[in-house]
Amino acid sequence: MRIGNVTVDPPLILGPMAGMNSVPFRLLCRKAGAGLVCSEMVSATALHFGSTKTAGLLESCAQERPLSVQLFGADPDIVAEGARDVEAAGADIVDLNMGCPVRKVLKAGAGSMLMKDPNRAVAIAAATVRAVGVPVTAKLRIGWSREDASFVELSRRLVDAGVAAIALHGRTAGQGYRGAADWSAIARLVQAVSVPVIGNGDVFTAPDAGRMLRETGCAAVMIARGALGNPFLFAQAADVLAGRDPRPIPARWRLAAAVWHVQASALHHGEYLGVRRMRAMSCWYSRGLPGSAVFRREACRAGSVAELSAALLSLAHNLPHDAASETAPAAVDLEDTPFA
């Protein structure tokens, strides 16, 4: 599928996740099979006021492209200014967050709050489209509440303002992540707008991705929480979309990816911050494995790359033997990355 002039192949997208989607994780998911990766959400207001920490979220590398950078904000001029910064930093797509239900984002009048103020949402989209030469997309929820399922009308207005694609998470803002995502809403939006619709919500397995495409007719599937600890989900989902059985992913591959992720995170963020970011992230890689409870305790105490890597390798060493897992794929090879 295409978003403006950007080809997304396969039509599988790593969704934006705060605190997770720095360069190492995006690169790992891209190498594992994602057709497009998204940044963490970036505050346009913080960029406007010169936050060096926020500006650091715009860092990227050539190997992860195509890259979408997601902005949030409530002022059309400030969001448009932030979009110019995003484009200058090398992003292929600017995404507008109009669906985040997190309280601090809502207090700023951004995220899902924009679904209660559609005129402001459309003004932000129009200003952003005018400001940049790359495609602009928007990510929505189905409404503020079930009684306010405004996504179809807002999406139509956003398309009229120049938005090139809409990503729809099949829950309301009030639901957060509770309950099941309503995929029928995604199917309704596909029929209602002329631009590609990206489906999002409750895609945790490769068959889920195939089923979402079939049941909704969406142009692409966005995977977020399902990729935590298992970037190879993109490879498996690509198999399903191509009509193949999903390849098996041995546990040792996941742990090899975790070791890669720890090393790359330390190189990208510095050892102190990189290890602390990876304490929680590494626990996702250990989910469901024998010895994971002991590993989580060790991970929380790890203060260096060596300590966290050793804990992961110990977990791998104690796995039941599986001859198919002896060779990890190139996606976990440090030599083929900018972190070598």
Domains of the chain, start order: 2-241 (3.20.20.70), 251-336 (no CATH)
Tokens of 257: 């990816």
In the block, residue with structure tokens 């198999």: 239
Q: What is the pLDDT of residue 45?
A: 97
**332 φ, ψ (degrees, to nearest 5):** -115, 25
Is there a contact between 90 and 67 (Cβ–Cβ < 8 Å)?
Answer: yes
Average pLDDT by stretches of 10, the chain with 340 residues: 97 96 95 96 97 95 96 98 98 97 92 95 98 98 83 97 98 90 97 98 97 98 96 96 93 91 94 94 92 93 95 88 47 43
For residue 22, CA distances in Å to 25, 86, 237, 261, 273 come to 6, 15, 22, 11, 12
Active site residue 100: yes
| Exposure class string for 122-138: b at 16+ Cβ within 10 A, else e | bbbbbbbbebbebbbbb
Q: Any alpha helices (H) in 68-160, and if so which ranges? A: 76-88, 103-107, 118-131, 151-160
Q: What is the DSSP letter of 63?
A: G
Catalytic residue among 29, 38, 100, 218: 100
pTM over 0.75: yes
